[in-house]
Structure 1
Amino acid sequence: MPDLLRLALEQLEAMPPSIWLRRSGTLYLLVNAAHIGSIGLLIGSIVPLDLRLLGLLRPGPLAVLAPVLARTAAAGLALAVLTGAMLFGVRPLEYLQNPAFLVKMGLLGAGALNAWAVRRGRAWARVLDQGRASGAMRAQAGASLLLWLGCLVAGRWIGFL
């Protein structure tokens, strides 16, 4: 690991929020619970949205469901990133040496990029206007489903390595 990165991570570990989390089992528990809850919010929103976009779930009109589920998933992602960063600060050097953590971060980045591409693409506007998903949108929904579920599995894998 480069010295500059090691120094930055040691500084992160020495910051007050990281120290507070290490010293308080209750605070760590609450932040960890918030992280798990936010992951539940993300996965609980993105899975039905992706399944609906794939045509495997038909509970209601896509043009109505898609914006609500997408916003809820975005809120879950934002909270998961915030709480995850706080948890990372407790032991950053150890996490960066954990292959499951690296896989999780790669999948998280790919999932976020895919979500960004969906929101920027014409196919999303078509979903909102016409309530139908194109072939490209279905492919992105399938990729989303695999990326986010893979991220979830990799996150649980961290504790086993």
Structure 2
Amino acid sequence: MRLFKFSILLLIVLLVILSCINESQINNPKDIDAIEEISAARADAFNEGDAASIATHFTENGLLMAPDSPVLTGRIAVEEYYQEIFDEYETSLDSYYEDVQVSGNLAFGRGVADVELVPKVGGDTIYTTSKYINILQKQADGSWLTTHDIWNNNE
């Protein structure tokens, strides 16, 4: 009998929790559009060689997990990572999300990126194609910032 009462109580608690989830917080088109705009702005900044602008799209303690690199934490580390690339190469990026999912204040974007790096001092151009996941968090002001950026090359 106790197990039955506990099961009923647990069921009621779960129903209350589930009823608190507002459907407008799941895959809201406005949120998806905002997240896709962030992705486009980051790509534009990459193509312009603007490391500072890329970093502004990360949370203060956002993580950058690039291939063959240690995990970098924070906007300053993100900016320094990209600045090293821009100091050495002329860059071109074609990047887009294949899927964006939003649930409340968290979201992810799964995408592909084609990168071209042309050495500024001569040498062979580097071409890479990669897949990536961005995890984003909605801020108090309604904007979205990246908490995690991870990718690996398809080669």
Structure number with greater Rg is 2
Structure ranking higher in helix proportion: 1
Structure ranking higher in strand proportion: 2
Fold match (TM-score > 0.5): no
State TM-score, norm by structure 2: 0.29
User: Comparing both chains, which one has the higher relative contact order based on Cα–Cα distances under 8 Å and sequence gaps of 6 or more?
Assistant: 1
State TM-score, norm by structure 1: 0.29
